[in-house]
């Protein structure tokens, strides 16, 4: 059965696995093992030489994680994937797979705070420059590009502004110059398909919607197999020049017989091998349990979020509601162009009153959890001005899209009447 013909609901349950070759188990087994016995000395030598694919050591590959990787690659329309220990690790490895000291990449300013810190501080200490540009102007990516630019990076649906990134506009600029776009699609699985719009690599924090149950940190990098690294020659020394850590392999040449998977193979056999941020098989297994119901959950997240938006828009204590469904102008055009089947589960709103009103609202919630997380099956809320963005000045907060009375909601899949009743009673306490 070819995965290509199947719908997301089916792929989420079937892609990458039929039954266990050893036991016929229908559910994906949890292979909680560190290592795998080689059949013979020759078998071991072939595995290490990449002449044959197979299990060596769980830091580099694991049969349970492999199912998760194949399933996510199929759902995303990519050619191969790499499961890693967290979303942070996915961003780190995706960038380090292309950038070395002295190189740069161009990134949208609208990023998750952890990604911002990684790019602005840790990569800087490593000699890699992140060039931050305003995502509302795609041409800013072109202007910031030079010979040392190895990639572009952006989030599909970054909060708190929830302005959908102009994926095609920036991917097209990149393809013209020979620079790939990496998209963090954490907030929009299934409702956005970045490869359809020209992205070369997609990454997720699977910790959020993909797992959904809020039990397991994890991340994934998915290779679109649609970018010609070799044609760009000097632009990609990590892929096009001999790798001293792998007996001089040139990844674009060495991997060619296996398909257009040089990017993901190099990330696995060098970066994951050396940096060690492997996904625990248990977390991969847990993530598979969540993934199997992702299409159902995403529908409910989106439907519930739309109803919360409608409720908040009519509420006298709410000044403004932030959600792709109610944006105007270019922001709405992009939301319509890049999201389908829903506008996502994240909702922002601004209270008429400021900081104290925001804190009172949060303290009055009884059903919604007060956590610094998104994408859980449960509804979540946070007041960024007094928490995640509290170290910023008032002006910095405003430019990040956070006002004193801004509340971020991650709407879950509970019954919509219960979600709205909780928000309503908390608003009444202000
Ligand atoms: N990307 C986005 C959009 C996120 O929201 C997060 C975490 O909140 C991450 C990446 C990092 O993921 P993790 O917490 O799994 O490391």
Q: Which residues contact 192 (CB under 8 A, 6 or more apart)?
A: 156, 157, 164, 167, 185, 338, 339, 340
Question: Is residue 27 domain-shared with residue 95, that is, in the same domain?
Answer: yes
Question: Is residue 151 domain-shared with residue 227, that is, in the same domain?
Answer: yes
b/e code 273-282 from CB counts within 10 Å (16+ = b): bebebbbbbe
DSSP-assigned letters across all residues of 178-203: T-PEEEE-TT-TTT--GGGGT-SEEE
What integer pLDDT is reported at residue 255 of this predicted model?
93
pLDDT at 4 over 80: no
Question: Is residue 283 domain-shared with residue 305, that is, in the same domain?
Answer: no
> What's the rounded mean pLDDT across residues 228-250?
96
Question: Is residue 248 domain-shared with residue 312, that is, in the same domain?
Answer: no
The CATH code of the domain that includes 237 is 3.40.640.10
> Is any atom of ligand 1 closer than 6 Å to the C-beta of 115?
yes
Q: Which two tokens stand for residue 180?
A: 């790939």
Question: Is residue 51 domain-shared with residue 123, that is, in the same domain?
Answer: yes
Q: Whose CA is nearest to atom 13 of ligand 1?
A: 87
Question: Is residue 300 domain-shared with residue 283, that is, in the same domain?
Answer: no
Question: Is residue 230 domain-shared with residue 363, that is, in the same domain?
Answer: no
Question: Whole-prediction pTM value?
Answer: 0.97
Q: Whose CA is nearest to atom 11 of ligand 1?
A: 87
DSSP-derived pairing of the beta strands 104-108 and 149-155: parallel
CA 220 to chain centre: 7
Cα 218 to ligand 1 centroid, rounded to whole Å: 9
pLDDT at 267 over 60: yes
| Cα–Cα dist 80/259, whole Å | 10
What integer pLDDT is reported at residue 397 of this predicted model?
82
Q: Which atom of ligand 1 is nearest to the CA of 88?
A: 16
> Is any atom of ligand 1 closer than 6 Å to the C-beta of 375?
no
Residue 375 lies in domain: 295-428
Categorize the per-residue pLDDT at 3 as very low, low, confident or very high, splitting at 50, 70 and 90.
low
End-of-domain residue from the set 230, 263, 290: 290
Question: Is residue 424 domain-shared with residue 350, that is, in the same domain?
Answer: yes
pLDDT in tens, 175-203: 999 999 999 999 999 999 999 999 999 99
What integer pLDDT is reported at residue 188 of this predicted model?
98
> Is any atom of ligand 1 closer than 6 Å to the C-beta of 207?
yes
In the numeric block, the tokens 């104290």 are attached to 356
What integer pLDDT is reported at residue 45 of this predicted model?
93
> What's the rounded mean pLDDT across residues 277-298?
98
| Cα–Cα dist 362/278, whole Å | 36
Cα 98 to ligand 1 centroid, rounded to whole Å: 21
Question: Is residue 342 domain-shared with residue 258, that is, in the same domain?
Answer: no
| Cα–Cα dist 16/148, whole Å | 37
Q: Whose CA is nearest to atom 8 of ligand 1?
A: 373
| Cα–Cα dist 409/420, whole Å | 12
Q: Whose CA is nearest to atom 4 of ligand 1?
A: 112
Q: Which residues contact 110 (CB under 8 A, 6 or more apart)?
A: 135, 154, 155, 158, 161, 163, 165, 401
> Is any atom of ligand 1 closer than 6 Å to the C-beta of 87?
yes
| Cα–Cα dist 155/15, whole Å | 26
> Is any atom of ligand 1 closer than 6 Å to the C-beta of 406?
no
> What's the rounded mean pLDDT across residues 252-256?
95
> Is any atom of ligand 1 closer than 6 Å to the C-beta of 217?
yes
What integer pLDDT is reported at residue 396 of this predicted model?
80
Cα 265 to ligand 1 centroid, rounded to whole Å: 23
pLDDT in tens, 6-53: 999 999 999 999 999 999 999 999 999 999 999 999 999 999 888 888
- Best mutation site among 157, 165, 186 for ligand 1, i.e. most ligand atoms within 8 A of its Cβ? 186
Q: Which atom of ligand 1 is nearest to the CA of 219?
A: 15
Question: Is residue 313 domain-shared with residue 362, that is, in the same domain?
Answer: yes
What integer pLDDT is reported at residue 48 of this predicted model?
87
> What's the rounded mean pLDDT across residues 251-277?
97
> What's the rounded mean pLDDT across residues 377-399?
88
The CATH code of the domain that includes 373 is 3.90.1150.10
| Cα–Cα dist 151/154, whole Å | 10
> Is any atom of ligand 1 closer than 6 Å to the C-beta of 184?
yes
Question: Is residue 240 domain-shared with residue 312, that is, in the same domain?
Answer: no
**Overall size of the chain counted in residues:** 430
> Is any atom of ligand 1 closer than 6 Å to the C-beta of 205?
yes
pLDDT in tens, 355-384: 999 999 999 999 999 999 999 999 999 999
Question: Is residue 313 domain-shared with residue 180, that is, in the same domain?
Answer: no
> Is any atom of ligand 1 closer than 6 Å to the C-beta of 186?
yes
Instruction: Give the chain's mean pLDDT.
Output: 96
Q: Which residues contact 291 (CB under 8 A, 6 or more apart)?
A: 12, 68, 71, 72, 206, 210, 211
End-of-domain residue from the set 290, 309, 324: 290
Q: What is the total count of domains within the chain?
A: 2
pLDDT at 294 over 60: yes
149-155: strand order across its sheet: 80-84, 219-223, 201-205, 181-184, 149-155, 104-108, 129-133
Cα 112 to ligand 1 centroid, rounded to whole Å: 7
**Least trusted range by pLDDT, from 122-131, 139-148, 316-325, 386-395:** 386-395
End-of-domain residue from the set 271, 290, 309: 290
pLDDT at 122 over 60: yes
């Amino acid at each position: 059965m070819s995965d290509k013909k199947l719908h997301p609901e089916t792929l989420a349950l079937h892609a990458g696995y039929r039954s266990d070759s050893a036991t016929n188990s229908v559910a994906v087994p949890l292979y909680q093992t560190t290592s795998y016995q080689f059949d013979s000395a020759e078998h071991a030598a072939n595995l290490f030489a990449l002449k044959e694919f197979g299990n060596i050591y769980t830091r580099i590959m694991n049969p349970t994680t492999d199912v998760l990787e194949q399933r996510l690659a199929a759902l995303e329309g990519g050619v191969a994937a790499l499961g890693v220990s967290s979303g942070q690790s996915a961003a780190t490895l995706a960038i380090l797979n292309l950038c070395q000291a002295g190189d740069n990449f161009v990134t949208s300013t609208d990023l998750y705070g952890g990604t911002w810190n990684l790019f602005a501080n840790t990569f800087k200490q490593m000699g890699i420059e992140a060039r931050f540009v305003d995502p509302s102007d795609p041409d800013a990516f072109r202007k910031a590009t030079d010979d040392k630019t190895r990639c572009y990076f952006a989030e599909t649906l970054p909060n708190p502004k929830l302005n959908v990134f102009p994926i095609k506009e920036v991917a097209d600029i990149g393809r013209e110059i020979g620079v790939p776009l990496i998209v963090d699609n954490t907030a929009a699985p299934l409702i956005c398909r970045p490869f359809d719009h020209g992205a070369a690599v997609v990454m997720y924090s699977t910790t959020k919607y993909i797992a959904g149950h809020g039990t397991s940190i994890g991340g994934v990098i998915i290779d679109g197999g649609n970018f010609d690294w070799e044609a760009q020659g000097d632009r990609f020394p990590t892929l096009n020049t001999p790798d001293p850590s792998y007996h001089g392999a040139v990844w674009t040449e060495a991997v060619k017989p296996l398909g257009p998977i040089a990017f993901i193979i190099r990330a696995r056999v060098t970066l994951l091998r050396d940096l060690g941020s492997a996904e625990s098989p248990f977390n991969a297994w847990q993530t598979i349990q969540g993934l199997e119901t992702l299409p159902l959950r995403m529908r409910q997240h989106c439907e519930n979020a739309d109803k919360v938006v409608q409720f908040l828009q009519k509420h006298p204590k709410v000044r403004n509601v932030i959600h792709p469904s109610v944006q105007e102008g270019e922001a709405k055009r992009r939301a319509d162009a890049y999201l389908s089947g829903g506008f996502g589960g994240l909702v922002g709103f601004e209270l008429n009153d400021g900081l104290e009103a925001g804190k009172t609202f949060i303290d009055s919630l009884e059903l919604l959890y007060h956590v610094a997380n998104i994408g859980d099956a449960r509804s979540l809320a946070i007041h960024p001005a007094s928490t995640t963005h509290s170290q910023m000045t008032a002006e910095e907060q405003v430019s990040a899209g956070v006002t004193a009375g801004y509340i971020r909601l991650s709407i879950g899949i509970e019954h919509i009447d219960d979600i709205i009743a909780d928000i309503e009673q908390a608003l009444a306490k202000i």
